[in-house]
Amino acid sequence: MDWTRRDFVKLSSAGLLAAALPAPALHGLGSGPRMREARGLDELRRGVGTFSGRGGTIGWLVNVDGCVVVDSQFPDTAQECLEALESRAALPADVLINTHHHGDHTAGNGVFRSAVREIVAHSRVPELQREAAREAGTEEDQTYAESTFEESWSVEVGDETVRASHYGPAHTGGDCTVHFERANVVHMGDLVFNRLYPFIDRPGGASIRGWIELLEEVARIHDDDTIYIFGHGHPDFGVTGTQDDLLFHRDFLTVALEFAQAAVRDGRTQEDVRRLEEMPGFPDHAAPAPQLTLARVLEAAFEEALEEG
């Protein structure tokens, strides 16, 4: 397994990735003003919102009948999120959903474990999480989803339906989106790094081609009014957005893969490809951490292009 993967596992498991990533800068979206009722909680629509903290953005639903949480960041911020939700809802969280296995999305699972009746994820997430924990030496710190699904899973919480869906390999081999159907809010996990160079976890089952197709399918089945929550975002663009942001990320991945495919056809090397300093048409993209650069994206794209032939 290459050192890019090892470095990312160490960063995300230890919390160093979150320290390197820019703090989420949320921007106003949705119908009506956003209300801040507790530190870190921002409501988007119909009791659905985000918690900033550090690491991958946490999503949440609170209504009179229950509470659902999406992703758990790290133990310290998970505790902050849990306390903030309890102060808002006076209800225990019913379900925690992990959008994928990376440490900045699952390391806080243990904090939520006593407050939820189940942790849910795609079927590949526990095995990928165990593998990453072995690499990072953090096996004793893990709490895994005990309820898993292959294609979709849903729960009714009061008047809201929460649906998790897996579309195939993309950022990893076990990503899911989480749709709060009546609120029309979709948590994308790390399927969107908003104007940031993404991590493409090839050892964890990633597929750039699959990622592109997934983003097109998600855009197709939702509408112009959908609010999307992103795992990470450039401070100038934020961790929530619209279909335009979703498709902009698709376009970036498409250009990266096409660039790599052209290099393979022309007989250029991976080292030639990684020398590109800026992807034409995407001047706002930034490296959120030293290990998450355009060069790393292009290395992964080159490897995938070679496999495609």
Domain boundaries along the sequence of the chain: 3-308
**What pLDDT is stored for residue 174 in this prediction?**
98
Closest CA to 100 of 91, 109, 92: 109
In DSSP terms, 230 is beta-bridged to none
**What pLDDT is stored for residue 24 in this prediction?**
41
Alpha helices in the chain (DSSP H): 3-14, 16-20, 75-89, 103-106, 109-113, 125-136, 208-221, 243-265, 270-273, 294-308
Closest CA to 57 of 100, 114, 28, 86: 100
CATH architecture for residues 3-308: 4-Layer Sandwich (3.60)
**What pLDDT is stored for residue 257 in this prediction?**
98
150-174-243 Cα angle (round to 5): 100
Half-sphere exposure of 176 (CA within 13 A, CB side): 28
Crossing angle (nearest 10°) for helices 294-308 and 208-221: 100
306 SS3 class:
helix
* pLDDT tens sequence across 47-67: 999 998 889 999 999 998 999
Contacts with 156 (C-beta within 8 Å, 6 or more apart), sequence order: 162
**What pLDDT is stored for residue 2 in this prediction?**
46
Question: Following CA atoms 7, 8, 10, 15 in sequence, which dihedral angle do they give, to the nearest 10 degrees?
Answer: 140
* pLDDT tens sequence across 180-222: 999 999 999 999 999 999 999 999 999 999 999 999 999 999 9
* pLDDT lower than 50: segments of the chain: 1-5, 8, 13-16, 18-38
Cα-flanking dihedrals φ and ψ of residue 161, to 5°? Answer: -105, 130
**What pLDDT is stored for residue 168 in this prediction?**
98
Q: Which amino acid is at 66?
A: G
**What pLDDT is stored for residue 6 in this prediction?**
53
Between the alpha carbon of residue 68 and those of residues 27, 38, 93, 304, 307, the distances in Å are 23, 17, 6, 36, 40
In DSSP terms, 120 is beta-bridged to 97, 147
Contacts with 135 (C-beta within 8 Å, 6 or more apart), sequence order: 1, 5, 6, 9, 10
**What pLDDT is stored for residue 309 in this prediction?**
79
| Predicted structure pTM score | 0.89
